[in-house]
Amino acid sequence: MTRRSLRLSKFHVHHWILAALMSIVAFESTSSFAADQKSVSGQAAANRLFTLKVLPLLKVKCFGCHGIDSEDIRGDYDLMTREKMFKGGESEEPPVVSGKPKDSPLYQAILWDGMEMPPKENDRLTKEETEYFRQWIAAGAPWPSAADQLQIQKREWSVRENEDGVIVNTSGGLADDWTYRRYQPEDTWAFQPVKRPDIPAGAKNPVDAFVAKRLAAAGLQPATDADARTMIRRATYDLIGLPPSPQEIDEFNKAWSQDAQQAWSNLVDRLLKNDHYGERQAQHWLDIVRYADTSGFSNDYERSNAWRYRDYVIRSFNKDKPFNEFAMEQIAGDELRPDDPEALIATGLLRMGPWGTQMIPQKESRQIYLDDLVHNVGQAFLSMPMRCCKCHDHKFDPLPTKDYYRMYAAFATTQPAERQAGFLPAENRNSFAEKRELVRELLDYATSEQAKIQNKQEAAAKKWYEEHDLPYKNENARKKDTEEKKPPRHVGLTYEEKGMKKVREQDVWIWARRMERYLPMAQAVYNGQDDFKNGRKLREPKQINKQWRPENFILAGGSLEAPLESVKPGVLSAAGLPINQDGDSPFQITDALNGRRLAFAKWITDDRNPLTARSFVNRIWQSHFGIGLVKTANSFGAKGSKPSHPELLDWLTSDFIEHGWKIKRLHRLIMSSATYRRSAKPANTKTQTTVDPDNKLLASFPSRRLTAEELRDSALLVSGELNREMGGVPIMPEINLEVALQPRMIQFSIAPAHQPSRTPAERNRRTIYAYRVRGQADPFLEIMNQPNPNESCEIRDSASVSPQAFTLMNSDVMTDRSIGFALRVQKEQPDDTAEWIRQSVQIAYGRMPTQEEQTSLQDYLKEMQSYHKAHKPEEVKYPTQVTRSLVEEFTGEPFEFIEKLNVYENYVPDAKPWTVDADVRALADVCLLLLNSNEFLYIY
Amino acid sequence: MATISRRDFLYGLGSSLGALALTDLQAAEKKAVGPLAPKQTMHDPKAKAVIMLFMEGGPSQADTFDPKPELSRLHLSESKRTAGLAGGKRFYVGSPFKSRKVGNAGIDMSDQWKFLADPEVADELCVYRGCKAESLNHPEALLHMNTGSRLGGDPGLGAWTTYGLGSENQNLPGYVVMTELALPQAGPANWTNGFLPAHYQGTRLRSTGSPILDLKPPKFKSREHQRKALDQLAILNANHAEQHPEHEELNARMESYELAYRMQMSVPGIIDIDSEPEHTQKAYGLERKETSAFGRQCLMARRLVEEGVRFVQIFSGGWDSHDYLEKGHSSRINSVDQPIAALIKDLKNRGMLEDTLVVWTGEFGRTPDNNYRGGVTALGRGHNADAMNMWFAGGGTKRGTMVGATDEIAAAAVEVVHPIRDVHITMLHLLGLDDNKLTYFHAGRYKQLSQFGGELIPELIA
């Protein structure tokens, strides 16, 4: 190994020509270009290598810092011509030695050997790419003229497929290099048409046939079948997100012992018909589309009717609405069936992203809205994150930036608004009057507090006008008067009152917005002109300019200030599914004011679209196995994962399409496989973890932890507190009281406290109905890895972190569940403590305790009984108001005000430690441990 | 079951943390005991820990560390600037404060800074005036400064740091955040782990109530009660683990309960600042009403860093002076001046300043002019993304210097101009981390704090 020192400027280590150390390693040849190696010695081949391989890499990876900007050339090393490349920069050493790659520092640098060029991980050259440079230098580093280059390129571009890959037809990139670049077919698998492969012989169920083929190839023995209890628990959680009851387990065991096959298919049918199925499936979809009841950004404005979209999703799954129809409604329901409230509610999808207008120029906030739609519609339906090609042609996928802006144009007439949409019979409007009354009280309070301050100010203003001998004008009327002609701002108010004025004004519109929950409105969209928008209140304009057509451009670097060529609405060309027969613009859709989204949605849901059905089938697979056939469910591009069983994915997809995009059928198909019914225990753990550590081949069933929602729902279910009522305005669960009352800043004030719903029945409902606030997560759910609703979540994290233990062992929420659980058990068997243990274990685990567990828990119970006789809990009172303190914006002085917590005035708490006796508290300790235990938290 | 004791089970079966996604960096660190175990730096570090003092709302450069006599001359004259958002007539606002040069280094400081002006403190500062933000809106700008992305959802600075370096103390969180009672705008997204595994998220040490949510059981359950509960839980879990030897995550989850138990002891110890000598408490301003809240947090920050916590962030709110600038900024400065000066002296006296990087910043700067608010001449300043000031102390930054400059009215940075990402890259560099290598593969690409790379600001480094 030779080492050479070069001059080094400490802060330019990444300017490759200034590297301190360079080492040389022996070269290993593994190049796919190896076949060409002999001919590379020929001048023509070397010219070709340079033009097609080396120069494009130089352009993409090097010229940015070493050429394009002649004012700022890093390390003073310009690579744009052969002469300059050979001459070098600040270094005294020649960077390229013709014929001798190993003596060429440039080559060493791109190997990241000593020197590291290009300096970013993302830009680093692959082995194959560095090999092009090696061969080119070895062949004398020729640099053909521009004309010769063009000739070489043209010849190359006329061949669609060669050993370097395939040219994918698209609407074209910003440069020919991109348009004619080649892809490895495996990198563009998702864009290729869905094929219907033959089912391999040897298994009845097609799923098993494909899975068995790969297992056999890997030499892996599949695990044995799981037992009945494991299977009913697995299926029940997968389909409805709740555990089976002991009775259900019992009945299933009996049926299974008579006819396992029949029992299983009856079970799956029963679960698919259960209304909780829709809730569980909707949770997956809401993760992807980022459901929340507020808008995020500085004010986190409430989206008062978002709940209707949530319920629409649940209803759709329960009805087994075909996925193509489901997709179509969400993208273009308003255009599809303008008079159908259901279709209008469905477009809530286009309102799901965090979005605000505060302190952002209108043009930019409009761009943010449309960028968000393009990226998230692409991600949700096509598993194609689109953000990457907003600024440039996609680096790895056949997505030209032109297609990004075509899709952008497809949404460019879409405007967000709260629209009128009559209530449907299916929607839950229980206790609307009562709930509205609680909001009304808060609105009245805020209004009267605001009036007090306003009146005081105006009294002072009147006095001022009198003193100045001028006629009184109200606050609005005098706004434009010059300062001599009107009283000072906030006249007559103390600084506390100044601050309070803002707080109460804010409160008034917060509660006024919340009243709209109970109105027949929907967070939806309409088609119309761009006009001024305030995120606080979005309504349709009085007049829609039917002639209005937005002009859309490719934006260089995504900047509104840098429009390039103009684009018309269209679809993604790489999918190879033209919209019309027009030879010039086969991927263009209508550019009328209306109908753009409908045309786009039709393309998305076309049976021949290679992306949509694959994407969704993969998500359903993931809902059963924890990981999809493609691990990156939101990203089917070259940088996403490749399918573990490509043929299986295609077979399932074609079957799905052929049978009308029906989702329940797909569940049945997957669940009827032996693959789904395997035990989680590998046939041979050691072999399997060596051969297939990530269990991609599914030799055994992948276990998983309960999600945050499943955990809360299950705890409520076993404690007997769960109210199974479906749908309706968001519920407010009890959350950690400190968090509920902790002040949360919004633009000019503090957001209202989290007040739980008044009665246990109202709040102890399934988590999917819980109010989802972007600015404040429920700490219990958050700690159990509920995703942040600002980004689409393709897969749940389940990392174990210590704060989870605090929450699950110590929180009031869990203490209350354990008390509820204990009361339930004790009610069934008042005096028999041995029976208490048996019952609790059976309810929590769905099995009887072992003798050891029985003894050990009974001993523990006894110990806790005597502990609790000696330790009495204190009662915790709920506050009916809270004092807020805020720093007044203008003066920097702190001031205080009162926030009313009216729900607590007539609150019905859950059973609490101080409302039960020592025996119940002791049993609750046992129950708490069961709820904390791994057996309760994991599904096998 | 009888053959395995509880402790054997807890500690004997290795300590894999099964649920971790495997990325390049983690693959290289497979030997480490856990996700927060200390890791090798990428080059020789100057700093081991960071204390970041975040002035939420956007402190005004012209009224803190970047005085502009020209503005006083222009005071109340009409401004024709069009930058920023507010339309309508605008007028210039001179600083209500006098300025002077302090310490041997002659650092510019408005006269509101009384404690920081102590030469012993001022000469440690490296004031930077060249940074440009991008957003004019608080939440986006906060997210940009704290996570490198305006959009939210990316990991916080402390998350990247603990991902890269781990933490020295396994019984405390590696990344601690302290806020005022009210959370800053954009809330916990400012210290989220984003796409990094959950181990790297910031833990909020709350200023009132329980320092970590539910750190302790309800009052009627004693510590012995908790120990018994955990032992009994371990028995349940051990039975279960015996049934599922293939399932590695079970160990990780059991361990997390034991770590939680240890944290119950270590956290209250750390936050018990009553154990500090009276003169220390006094130095941090704990007995003054205006400074006690921020002072407690600064003192806590020192104690945390002393115990090996990697990244501590403290938020001070209320710097958004659109009006009544004089009152607003003087009261804000007054609330942090003494605590910050005490922190720097304290770190210095303990020999900790050398390898602790202290950063003082806001999310953006303020304008030289203002618009008429409600039709009234409001003496305040708007949001300004083109200029701001921040300062560093210790951790390998250049002592007693002023780097970069704004134009004559502090409207825009004109010398040593760098975007926020370069500040981030420089901070990572001081910690021995290379932004281009500190990557995590997510959603199809290697993500990094700076998003797409950037450059160091060599002028800041000693």
pLDDT (tens digit per residue) in A432-448: 999 999 999 999 999 99
pLDDT of residue A422: 98
Q: Nearest Cα to A490, choosing from A768, A35, A895, A890?
A: A890
- Residues of chain B with C-beta less than 8 angstroms from the C-beta of A890: 321-324, 327-328, 378, 380
- Residues of chain B with C-beta less than 8 angstroms from the C-beta of A930: 236
B436: nearest CB among A121, A782, A872:
A121
Predicted confidence (pLDDT) per residue in A444-461, tens digit: 999 999 999 999 999 999
How much of chain A exceeds pLDDT 70, in percent? 95
pLDDT of residue B33: 60
Do the domain assignments include residue B13?
Answer: no
Residues B92 and B233 in one domain: no
| Gap from A891 CA to chain B (nearest CA, Å) | 4
- Residues of chain A with C-beta less than 8 angstroms from the C-beta of B219: 873-874
Task: Determine contact, residues B134/B147, Cβ cutoff 8 Å.
Answer: no
- Residues of chain A with C-beta less than 8 angstroms from the C-beta of B444: 385, 388, 396, 632, 635, 637-640
- Residues of chain A with C-beta less than 8 angstroms from the C-beta of B324: 890-892
pLDDT of residue A890: 66
Predicted confidence (pLDDT) per residue in A155-173, tens digit: 999 999 998 899 999 999 9
Task: Please give the distance of CA A277 from its chain centroid, rounded to a whole number.
Answer: 21
> Which domain-ending residue is among B271, B289, B306?
B271
Predicted confidence (pLDDT) per residue in A98-125, tens digit: 899 999 989 999 998 878 888 877 788 9
Q: What is the extent of the structural domain holding B237?
A: 214-271
Range in A242-251, B4-13, B139-148 with the lowest mean pLDDT? B4-13
| Gap from B19 CA to chain A (nearest CA, Å) | 5
| d(C-alpha B419, C-alpha B131), whole Å | 6
Give the number of domains in chain B.
2
pLDDT of residue A360: 81
Residues B378 and B403 in one domain: yes
| d(C-alpha B192, C-alpha B158), whole Å | 9
Whether B182 sits inside 8 A of A736 (CB atoms) is no
Whether A791 sits inside 8 A of B213 (CB atoms) is no
Do the domain assignments include residue B403?
Answer: yes
Whether B222 sits inside 8 A of A871 (CB atoms) is yes
Residue of B nearest to A750 (CA): B182
CB pairs A-B closer than 8 Å? 273
Residues B324 and B237 in one domain: no
> A757-782 in b/e burial notation, b at 16+ Cβ within 10 A?
bbbbebbbbbbbbbbbbbbbbbbbbb
| Gap from B379 CA to chain A (nearest CA, Å) | 9
Q: Quote ipTM for the complex.
A: 0.87
pLDDT category of residue A803 using cuts at 50, 70 and 90: confident
CB atoms within 10 A of CB B228: 17
Residues B319 and B261 in one domain: no
Residues B263 and B302 in one domain: no
Do the domain assignments include residue B23?
Answer: no
pLDDT category of residue B9 using cuts at 50, 70 and 90: very low
Range in A206-210, A212-216, B322-326 with the lowest mean pLDDT? B322-326
Residues B184 and B263 in one domain: no
Predicted confidence (pLDDT) per residue in A503-537, tens digit: 999 999 999 999 999 999 999 999 999 999 999 99
B10 has pLDDT over 60: no
B202: Cβ contacts below 8 Å, ≥ 6 apart? B156, B158, B159, B173, B175, B176, B177, B188, B190, B191, B192, B193, B311, B313
Section A774-786 average pLDDT = 92
User: In this predicted model, which residue has the larger pLDDT, B7 or A754?
Assistant: A754
- Residues of chain B with C-beta less than 8 angstroms from the C-beta of A797: 19, 197-198
Range in A372-386, B60-74, B248-262 with the lowest mean pLDDT? B248-262
Do the domain assignments include residue B149?
Answer: yes
Mean model confidence pLDDT for chain A? 91
Do the domain assignments include residue B408?
Answer: yes
Residues B286 and B261 in one domain: no
User: In this predicted model, which residue has the larger pLDDT, B28 or A533?
Assistant: A533
| Gap from B260 CA to chain A (nearest CA, Å) | 5
Section A697-714 average pLDDT = 97
Chain A contact for B244 (CB, 8 A cutoff): yes
Predicted confidence (pLDDT) per residue in A596-630, tens digit: 999 999 999 999 999 999 999 999 999 999 999 99
Best interface-test mutation with A: which of B56, B196, B214, B452 has the largest number of A CBs within 10 A? B214
Predicted confidence (pLDDT) per residue in A22-74, tens digit: 332 333 333 444 444 444 458 889 999 999 999 989 988 888 888 888 788 88
Q: Nearest Cα to A514, choosing from A358, A345, A303, A756?
A: A303
| d(C-alpha B63, C-alpha B106), whole Å | 17
> A49-83 in b/e burial notation, b at 16+ Cβ within 10 A?
bbbbbbbbbbbebbbebbbeeeeebbbebbbbeee
| d(C-alpha A921, C-alpha A928), whole Å | 10
Tokens 């009845």 found at? A204
| d(C-alpha A178, C-alpha A171), whole Å | 11
Q: Reduced to 3 states, what is the DSSP secondary structure of residue B204?
A: strand
pLDDT category of residue B16 using cuts at 50, 70 and 90: very low
Instruction: Report which residue type is found at A25.
Output: V
Whether A11 sits inside 8 A of B458 (CB atoms) is yes
Residue A358 CB-half CA count within 13 A:
22
Alpha helices in A219-291 (DSSP H): 228-240, 246-258, 260-273, 276-289
Where does B224-366 show beta strands of DSSP type E?
Answer: 311-316, 356-361, 365-366
Q: Nearest Cα to A314, choosing from A350, A353, A356, A285?
A: A285
Task: Determine contact, residues B329/B60, Cβ cutoff 8 Å.
Answer: yes
Residue B3 CB-half CA count within 13 A:
1
Predicted confidence (pLDDT) per residue in A854-913, tens digit: 999 999 999 999 999 999 999 999 999 999 988 776 666 788 999 999 999 999 999 999
Residues B252 and B379 in one domain: no
How much of chain B exceeds pLDDT 90, in percent? 67
- Residues of chain A with C-beta less than 8 angstroms from the C-beta of B197: 797, 799
Task: Determine contact, residues A775/A745, Cβ cutoff 8 Å.
Answer: no
Residues B324 and B430 in one domain: yes
| Gap from A758 CA to chain B (nearest CA, Å) | 23
| Gap from A474 CA to chain B (nearest CA, Å) | 13
B212: nearest CB among A356, A785, A806:
A806
Residues B362 and B406 in one domain: yes
> Which domain-ending residue is among B236, B251, B271?
B271
Whether A680 sits inside 8 A of B153 (CB atoms) is no
Alpha helices in A659-743 (DSSP H): 663-671, 685-691, 708-718, 737-741
Predicted confidence (pLDDT) per residue in B52-88, tens digit: 999 999 999 999 999 999 999 999 999 988 755 555 6
Do the domain assignments include residue B38?
Answer: no
pLDDT of residue A681: 95
User: In this predicted model, which residue has the larger pLDDT, B86 or A90?
Assistant: A90
Residues B142 and B194 in one domain: yes
Q: Reduced to 3 states, what is the DSSP secondary structure of residue B419?
A: strand
**Parallel, antiparallel, or unpaired: how do β-strands B383-384 and B365-366 relate?**
antiparallel
A704: Cβ contacts below 8 Å, ≥ 6 apart? A626, A798, A938, A939
The pair of three-digit structure tokens given for residue A859, joined into one six-digit string: 């001993």
Whether A480 sits inside 8 A of B375 (CB atoms) is yes
| Gyration radius (Cα) of chain B, Å | 24
- Residues of chain B with C-beta less than 8 angstroms from the C-beta of A14: 436
- Residues of chain A with C-beta less than 8 angstroms from the C-beta of B236: 853, 929-930, 933-935
Identify the helix (H) or strand (E) that includes residue B138.
helix B138-147
Chain A contact for B322 (CB, 8 A cutoff): yes
| Gap from B288 CA to chain A (nearest CA, Å) | 15
Do the domain assignments include residue B22?
Answer: no
Whether B229 sits inside 8 A of A809 (CB atoms) is yes
- Whichever domain contains B341, its CATH number is 3.40.720
Phi (first) and psi of residue A477, to 5 degrees: -65, -30
Section A467-473 average pLDDT = 94
Q: Note the pTM of the prediction, 2 decimals.
A: 0.84
A547 has pLDDT over 90: yes
pLDDT of residue B86: 54
| d(C-alpha A713, C-alpha A546), whole Å | 49
Where does B301-353 show beta strands of DSSP type E?
Answer: 311-316
Section A780-804 average pLDDT = 88
A316: Cβ contacts below 8 Å, ≥ 6 apart? A278, A326, A329
Section B294-306 average pLDDT = 96
- Residues of chain B with C-beta less than 8 angstroms from the C-beta of A234: none
Residues B329 and B361 in one domain: yes
